[in-house]
């Protein structure tokens, strides 16, 4: 069952709710009598109270941690062993890549695309790379994916500078993704619905004080390196908790998925942000929402935690394969250039084509500290031997590492 966010009074609603309509009538009814305004305002207050009464009937979200026996079962520990092994291998092979920037750039854009796709924001890699490399006008979908990519890098920079996250940091990441200042929810009425039937499947905490209290509890467990639970089990728990708090009107899923990778870095399970579950969730989206809901309704954690742990194992293995393919292509490219164009060969030049699969003269000038004429000559020479292919986009000319793009498209 796919869950969508239908906020009464929030950005996601897509239509004016009864609350908003009544407010507008009260504020704009210049021709109405004072009595009519008073009646309408009374109706508005009754409507708000009805919402609050319904919210109080919803199951209250418990603070962390959950009961140990619920999250540490034999099956979970068996899968934990496999997931930890794959993740350890990923960390090890990533450390063998001399240019970490090359690897981060390659993986992060794919994650930005996949994570946004979960929210039905559909783009292509070609659109995204062109948007990053040129000054062409961006569609709203492309802009949202680029914002998500920016938020990942900002989160990683925050961890490198301070080693932990504060509430204001999470708010800032969400603000970058969504590009608004709404912040933490402060208005009652947010519910999660089945997008096909309209049935309310989950009601998150409504009062801002409760949301802030739960977020404070969340951060206490998020920032601790050595928690009561093994870190990968705790990652699953934390992800459930954040999505259940649902602190924002919009962007909760994307913010939560960025927090996943930052948590792995805090716990030194990875050095750089290269493991993302979004492609795995996209393939098994209905299971993802169903299992989150099972925890919420019945406090049954095992299947949900197994789902996340299997996702970590599968995604680690896929990323290992992708890193090997990128490294093989890098070495192959170096050999071809050394053989066919030895006069222009520079290791930094080849690595640039892998850092920026859609490259241009300005990038070469900056990276190699050469003049535009030399940079243009290098790129044209590489095009002649089939390493890159040029494209004209508007007034700009870009050079595409098409073999790398094909590797990056593979799941």
Lowest mean pLDDT among 41-55, 134-148, 234-248, 272-286: 41-55
Inter-CA distances, 381 with 15, 331, 345, 374, 403, Å:
55, 18, 10, 11, 17
* Under 8 Å between Cβ of 169 and 158: yes
- Indicate whether 331 belongs to any domain: no
Q: How would residue 308 be classed by pLDDT, with cut points 50, 70 and 90?
A: very high
Q: Do residues 76 and 41 both lie within one domain? A: no
Which residue bears the tokens 């897509």? 14
User: Residue 15's pLDDT is what?
Assistant: 36
Which residues neighbour 379 within 8 Å (Cβ) at sequence distance 6 or greater?
A: 359, 361, 364, 388, 390, 399
Q: If you ran DSSP here, which 8-state letter would residue 184 be given? A: B
User: Residue 10's pLDDT is what?
Assistant: 35
Q: By CB neighbour count within 10 A (0-12 exposed, 13-18 middle, 19+ buried), where does 209 fall?
A: exposed
Q: Do residues 23 and 145 both lie within one domain? A: no
Q: Do residues 50 and 76 both lie within one domain? A: no
Q: Do residues 242 and 352 both lie within one domain? A: no
Whether pLDDT at 238 is above 60: yes
- Indicate whether 355 belongs to any domain: yes
Q: What's the whole-number mean pLDDT along residues 29-43? A: 57
Q: Do residues 53 and 72 both lie within one domain? A: no
- Indicate whether 40 belongs to any domain: yes
Where are the extended beta strands (E) located within 289-351? Answer: none
Which residues neighbour 47 within 8 Å (Cβ) at sequence distance 6 or greater?
A: 18, 19, 22
Whether pLDDT at 305 is above 50: yes
Q: Is 394 helix (H, G, I), strand (E, B) or coil?
A: coil
Indicate the residue among 57, 77, 98 that finishes a domain.
57
Phi and psi at 248, nearest 5°, equal: -115, 160
Domain holding 388: CATH number?
Answer: 1.10.10.10
Q: How would residue 55 be classed by pLDDT, with cut points 50, 70 and 90?
A: very low
- Indicate whether 195 belongs to any domain: yes
Total number of domains in the chain:
3
Whether pLDDT at 83 is above 50: yes
User: Residue 101's pLDDT is what?
Assistant: 84
| 174-186 tens-digit pLDDT | 999 999 999 999 9
Query: Which helix (H) or strand (E) covers residue 133, if one does?
Result: helix 125-133
Residue 410: CB atoms within 10 Å:
10
Q: State how far the Cα of 379 lies from the Cα of 344, in Å rounded to an integer.
A: 10
Q: How would residue 16 be classed by pLDDT, with cut points 50, 70 and 90?
A: very low
- Indicate whether 325 belongs to any domain: no
Q: Do residues 273 and 347 both lie within one domain? A: no
Lowest mean pLDDT among 56-65, 210-219, 358-367: 56-65
Q: What is the mean pLDDT of the chain?
A: 88
Tell me, rounded to whole angstroms, the distance of Cα 222 from its chain centroid. 17
Q: Do residues 45 and 79 both lie within one domain? A: no
Lowest mean pLDDT among 13-22, 324-333, 334-343: 13-22
User: Residue 9's pLDDT is what?
Assistant: 33
Q: Which of 318, 370, 327 is nearest to 346 (CA)?
A: 370
Q: Do residues 48 and 11 both lie within one domain? A: yes
Phi and psi at 210, nearest 5°, equal: -70, -40
Q: Do residues 147 and 7 both lie within one domain? A: no
Which residues neighbour 411 within 8 Å (Cβ) at sequence distance 6 or greater?
A: 279, 318
Quote the domain boundaries for residue 362. 341-409
Q: Do residues 352 and 235 both lie within one domain? A: no
Inter-CA distances, 288 with 79, 150, 239, 305, Å:
17, 26, 12, 10
Q: By CB neighbour count within 10 A (0-12 exposed, 13-18 middle, 19+ buried), where does 153 fall?
A: middle
Inter-CA distances, 257 with 170, 180, 197, 262, Å:
12, 19, 26, 9
Lowest mean pLDDT among 35-44, 55-64, 131-140, 296-305: 35-44
Q: State how far the Cα of 162 lies from the Cα of 261, in Å rounded to an integer.
A: 16
Domain holding 136: CATH number?
Answer: 1.10.3290.10
Query: What torsion do the CA atoms of 46, 51, 53, 57 make, to the nearest 10 degrees?
Result: 160
Q: Do residues 117 and 197 both lie within one domain? A: yes
Q: State how far the Cα of 180 lies from the Cα of 177, in Å rounded to an integer.
A: 9
Q: Do residues 246 and 372 both lie within one domain? A: no
């Amino acid at each position: 069952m796919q869950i969508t966010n239908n906020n009464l009074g929030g950005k996601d609603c897509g239509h004016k709710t009864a609350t908003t309509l009544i407010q507008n009538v009260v504020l704009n009814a210049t021709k109405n009598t004072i009595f009519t305004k008073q009646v309408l305002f009374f109706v508005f207050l009754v409507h708000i109270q009805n919402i609050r009464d319904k919210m109080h009937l919803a199951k209250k979200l418990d603070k962390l941690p959950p009961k140990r026996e619920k999250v540490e079962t034999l099956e979970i520990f068996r899968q934990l062993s496999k997931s930890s092994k794959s993740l350890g291998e990923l960390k090890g092979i990533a450390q063998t890549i001399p240019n970490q920037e090359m690897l981060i750039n390659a993986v992060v854009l794919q994650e930005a695309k996949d994570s946004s796709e979960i929210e039905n924001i559909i783009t292509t890699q070609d659109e995204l790379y062109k948007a990053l490399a040129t000054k062409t006008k961006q569609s709203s979908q492309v802009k949202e994916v680029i914002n998500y990519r920016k938020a990942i890098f900002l989160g990683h920079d925050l961890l490198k500078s301070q080693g932990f996250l504060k509430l204001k940091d999470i708010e800032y990441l969400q603000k970058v993704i969504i590009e608004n200042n709404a912040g933490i929810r402060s208005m009652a009425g947010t519910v999660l619905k089945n997008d096909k039937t309209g049935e309310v499947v989950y009601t998150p905490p409504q009062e801002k004080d409760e949301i802030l209290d739960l977020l404070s509890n969340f951060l206490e467990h998020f920032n601790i390196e050595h928690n009561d639970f093994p870190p990968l089990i705790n990652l699953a728990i934390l992800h459930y908790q954040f999505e259940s708090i649902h602190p924002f009107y919009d962007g909760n899923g994307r913010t939560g998925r960025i927090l996943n990778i930052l948590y792995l870095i805090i716990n030194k399970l990875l050095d750089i942000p290269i493991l993302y579950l979004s492609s795995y969730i996209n393939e098994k989206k209905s299971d993802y929402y169903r299992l989150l809901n099972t925890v919420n309704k019945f406090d049954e954690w095992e299947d949900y935690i197994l789902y996340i742990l299997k996702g970590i194992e599968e995604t680690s293995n896929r990323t290992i394969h992708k890193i090997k393919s990128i490294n093989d292509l890098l070495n192959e490219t170096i050999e071809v250039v050394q053989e066919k164009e030895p006069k222009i060969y520079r290791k930094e030049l080849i690595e640039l084509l892998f850092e920026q699969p859609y490259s241009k003269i300005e990038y070469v000038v900056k990276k190699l500290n050469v003049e535009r004429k030399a940079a243009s000559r290098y790129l044209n020479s590489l095009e002649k031997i089939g390493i890159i292919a040029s494209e004209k986009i508007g007034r700009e000319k870009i050079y595409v590492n098409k073999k790398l793009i094909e590797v990056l498209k593979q799941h």
